[in-house]
Amino acid sequence: MKSCTPFRKQILLSAALLHGMSLAIMAQQPNVAGPAFDATTLTYVGEKHLVNVRQLTFGGDNAEAYWSFDGQSLVFQANYAEWGTACDQIFLYRDVNEVDRSPKMLSTGLGRTTCAYFMPGDQHVLYASTHQGGHSCPPEPPREGGRYVWPLYPSFDIYVADLNGELQSQLTHEPGYDAEATVSPKGDRIVFTSDRSGDLELYTMNVDGSDVVQVTDELGYDGGAFFSPDGQWLVWRASRPKTAEEVSKYKGLLAEHLVEPTDMELYVARVDGSEKRQVTHLGNANWAPYFTPDGKRILFCSNHASKRGFPFNLFLINLDGTGLEQVTFDQAFDSFPMFSPDGKRLIFASNRNNGGTRETNLFLADWVN
């Protein structure tokens, strides 16, 4: 699935990370009993932060659901044949308290889309789309030698549409990959990932696409960024190839418009890129980060404790890298967490309660500190 956490966030680990991996990998997992799942509460034993969990979608691949500014609506990305998709498209739940089993498609239905987010005022959303590069879904890269990669489609640009799905404007016009955009809670800036410099870096811009500012400049993938509640900080996932072999591999994949999202850590910095520091040093893939409502911790997805790629679960960590706490105890995949604007609810994507299929659904929970 995605490319935001396409490739977002996650990372580009959207449910993509999970679904991109072979079922054979899961079959190799040792048959060790994990925390018990309670189908009545839709939680695993130990998930003390999640109560009143409700499943919103029931089929297909659904991920990267993000709240409106008023906390009433959700925009998300999905690939579900029953909704008329051939690859990821953008959908809207106008009222999360009365979810319709057939949400409204906001994207054009052409090309592939990723990473939608509400604009200030909740009357428009932005998302990345490849539709100007062709009406068909762009092909996914072949898996060679078990290598898992994400495609960085050069035809991705960022667009704004109204809640009827009508395109209103195009925010990016540079050649190459522009995607993974999110909006500051203050409603003044957008952060996104672009390869316009020859590397995958973070940029910010005004909500009308003007005043583009480069934020990161180190070699490696920088993406899936979110603003802090006060709009002063960014958190994102990044790879940092160091050895000659790692650098050669990264640059070689980038030349093919690909990135390998299996070794990422979390970073924070001020919006202008100053005071940057690495938060996690866990190994494997750490991604889909989101600030807690008080701005003091980060909720994120990680498989750092997994020897063979699974499971992915949600964890909390302090901004200084201390206080790591496991939040979910899924045996497969939990990711893309986002707090509601009032901090009382959490939306996330999960493979729980899917009957043993590969379906990823959206779940809404009340958050307990």
Q: pLDDT by residue (tens digit) across 66-122?
A: 999 999 999 999 999 999 999 999 999 999 988 777 899 999 999 999 999 999 999
**Total domains present in the chain:** 1
Q: What angle do CA 248, 151, 268 make, to 5 degrees?
A: 75
Q: Is residue 7 part of a domain?
A: no
Which residue do the tokens 């449910």 mark?
15
Reduced to 3 DSSP states, what percent helix, strand and coil does the chain have, rounded to the nearest 5? 10, 40, 55
Residue-wise pLDDT tens digits, 198-217: 999 999 999 999 999 999 99
pLDDT of residue 231: 98
Q: Is residue 10 part of a domain?
A: no
pLDDT of residue 143: 75
290: β partners? 299
Q: Is residue 180 part of a domain?
A: yes
Euclidean distance between CA atoms 259 and 152, whole angstroms: 7
Segment 332-356 mean pLDDT: 97
Q: Is residue 339 part of a domain?
A: yes
pLDDT of residue 62: 97
pLDDT of residue 309: 82
pLDDT of residue 101: 74
Q: Of 11-15, 23-27, 151-155, 197-201, give the lowest mean pLDDT range.
A: 23-27
DSSP reduced 3-state for 347 = strand
Question: Residue 65 — very low, low, confident or very high, per pLDDT cuts 50/70/90?
Answer: very high
* Chain CA centroid to CA 86, Å: 20
Q: Is residue 287 part of a domain?
A: yes
Cβ atoms within 10 Å, residue 182: 27
Q: Is residue 113 part of a domain?
A: yes
Euclidean distance between CA atoms 106 and 121, whole angstroms: 17
Q: Is residue 8 part of a domain?
A: no
Euclidean distance between CA atoms 311 and 25, whole angstroms: 11
Euclidean distance between CA atoms 126 and 118, whole angstroms: 6
pLDDT of residue 99: 78
Q: Is residue 210 part of a domain?
A: yes
Tokens (6 digits) for 369 = 């500190």
What residues contact residue 205 under an 8 Å CB cut-off, 6+ apart? 171, 189, 190, 192, 211, 212, 213
pLDDT of residue 20: 35
pLDDT of residue 55: 97
CA dihedral (257, 261, 265, 266) positive or negative:
positive
Domain of 210 in residue numbering reads as 15-367
**CATH code of the domain in which 150 resides:** 2.120.10.30
